[in-house]
Amino acid sequence: MTRKVKIYGAGSIGNHLAQACRRIGWWVTIVDPDMEALRRTREEIYPARYGKWDNSIRLSHPDDALKDCFDVIFLGTPPHIRIDLAIEALKELPKILLLEKPLCSPSMEKTNELIKKLRQYPTMTVVGYDHVLSKATKTAEKLIEEKDFGRVLSLDVEFRETWKGIFSAHPWLSGPEDTYLGFWEKGGGASGEHSHALNLWQHFTHFLGLGKVREVSAIMKMVETDKVCYDESCFLNLTTEMGFVGRVAQDVITEPVKKQVRIQFAKGFLEILINGFEKRDVVYFQDAKSSGEIRIEKKRPDDFYEEILHIEEILKHRILANESPISLRRGLNTMRVIKAAHESRQMKKTIEIDYRQ
Ligand SMILES: NC(=O)c1ccc[n+]([C@@H]2O[C@H](COP(=O)([O-])OP(=O)(O)OC[C@H]3O[C@@H](n4cnc5c(N)ncnc54)[C@H](O)[C@@H]3O)[C@@H](O)[C@H]2O)c1
């Protein structure tokens, strides 16, 4: 079925989402108040990434685009303006509203207002933590179900990657000071930008039945100048409500990139290396009886295609949005940990998360 979608933000993620939606045959409109961003999308980003521009994609200023007729609205804008935009976008009555990651700025201002508003609308809401939907994550889940790993002993997730790549892909930016990336309070820095790692940690603790994060102890290396204020490294020690402990490391300085999930069990281990072998994801495992490695052929755009396939399943009511691995609840829980992490850094103490707030 051909769906109609609108993407707010003609930046890096806007282009990825547009391409993934076109791949499934959906009609795409991209809106951005910056006409130069729309021009770059048509003439530079999209053709450079995917071979050529797709003339069926409509590019528009937000004020000129149609309203009230989209199946899905994607908010691929900077995090600190996302909640206000989400509240506005609800008035367009999309069936699904996807808010990119990180959900918002660490203050989590207005998230309660958004949650209240959502009760008045039929819209289902999800958050763009696409790594939890990847083939590598699904392969790891299948292995956990089928193999004899025994008890879980530890879980470590790392997303360590210099953001030089981001700035070479955004040559119109001179550095983090020109965007939200240079400001932790806007959802930038390692804690926000690489929060896929934290979200994957929460995903696997959920999958393994280990409960939600209860306590957060964080240390961060901050970069503070007259132009920027962000964390370049963010290390989180986490304890769940079941007393399980583990660790997340995120930074914007490591090169070459290192992105991995490592689960130690009593009878073996499981490891996902993202881009681990010639840009493929690799899942290594060893259990009581066997060991092996599974290489997953894919490029980064394929992850977004998986996400769009998942959204189609939600639209067809084969998956309930609030039970999805990318549900708003899960995205909010990731944001709660990021917020607690900054409090922990500032107060130099362990912070307990209150899920009633
Ligand atoms: N899921 C992923 O793997 C993934 C990948 C890349 C980026 N992201 C996330 O997506 C968000 C955007 O990142 P990016 O790299 O695309 O940023 P970007 O700076 O490349 O693009 C953001 C665009 O949003 C536009 N914008 C600002 N206000 C707007 C508004 N009111 N309406 C419409 N457009 C508006 C800006 O003009 C800009 O063109 C960030 O939160 C980032 O973390 C997620």
Residue 130 Cα, ligand 1 centroid: separation in angstroms?
15
Are 60 and 188 in a shared domain? Answer: no
| CB neighbours of residue 251 within 10 Å | 25
Q: pTM (2 decimals)?
A: 0.97
Are 124 and 135 in a shared domain? Answer: no
Q: What is the pLDDT of residue 27?
A: 97
Per residue in 297-350, pLDDT tens? 988 899 999 999 999 999 999 999 999 999 999 999 999 999 999 999 999 999
Are 176 and 97 in a shared domain? Answer: no
Q: Whose CA is nearest to atom 17 of ligand 1?
A: 11
Q: Are 2 and 70 in contact (CB under 8 A)?
A: no
Q: What is the pLDDT of residue 336?
A: 98
Are 58 and 17 in a shared domain? Answer: yes
Summarize the confidence of residues 202-209 as an average pLDDT: 98
Residue 32 Cα, ligand 1 centroid: separation in angstroms?
10
Q: Does residue 148 fall inside a structural domain?
A: yes
Q: Which among 5, 8, 13 is the best mutation to test ligand 1's pocket, defined by most ligand atoms within 8 Å of the CB?
A: 13
Q: Does residue 307 fall inside a structural domain?
A: no
Spatial neighbors of 70 by CB under 8 A, at least 6 apart, are 4, 5, 6, 29, 92, 94
Per residue in 150-203, pLDDT tens? 999 999 999 999 999 888 878 888 899 999 999 999 999 999 999 999 999 999
Q: Which among 77, 185, 230, 299 is the best mutation to test ligand 1's pocket, defined by most ligand atoms within 8 Å of the CB?
A: 77
In CATH, what number is assigned to the domain containing residue 46?
3.40.50.720
* DSSP-H helix ranges across the chain: 12-23, 35-40, 46-50, 82-89, 111-118, 135-146, 164-169, 189-193, 196-207, 300-315, 328-347
Query: Distance between the two ends of the chain, CA-based, in angstroms?
Result: 39
CB 179 near ligand 1, within 6 Å: yes
CB 38 near ligand 1, within 6 Å: no
Structurally, the chain folds into a number of domains equal to 2
| Rounded Cα–Cα distance for residues 287 and 283 (Å) | 13
Q: Does residue 67 fall inside a structural domain?
A: yes
Show which of 100, 130, 160 is a domain's final residue.
130
Residue 11 Cα, ligand 1 centroid: separation in angstroms?
5
Are 137 and 274 in a shared domain? Answer: yes
* Percentage above 70 pLDDT, the chain: 100
Q: Does residue 310 fall inside a structural domain?
A: no
Are 336 and 222 in a shared domain? Answer: yes
Residue 104 Cα, ligand 1 centroid: separation in angstroms?
12
Per residue in 94-143, pLDDT tens? 999 999 999 999 999 999 999 999 999 999 999 999 999 999 999 999 99
Q: Does residue 220 fall inside a structural domain?
A: yes
Show which of 97, 130, 163 is a domain's final residue.
130
Are 120 and 137 in a shared domain? Answer: no
Are 116 and 148 in a shared domain? Answer: no
Q: Does residue 287 fall inside a structural domain?
A: yes
Are 49 and 60 in a shared domain? Answer: yes
Are 153 and 225 in a shared domain? Answer: yes
CB 101 near ligand 1, within 6 Å: yes
Q: Does residue 316 fall inside a structural domain?
A: no
In CATH, what number is assigned to the domain containing residue 179?
3.30.360.10
Average pLDDT of the chain?
96
Please give the residue range of the domain that contains residue 166. 131-297+322-352
Q: Which among 100, 105, 194 is the best mutation to test ligand 1's pocket, defined by most ligand atoms within 8 Å of the CB?
A: 100
Show which of 130, 146, 162 is a domain's final residue.
130
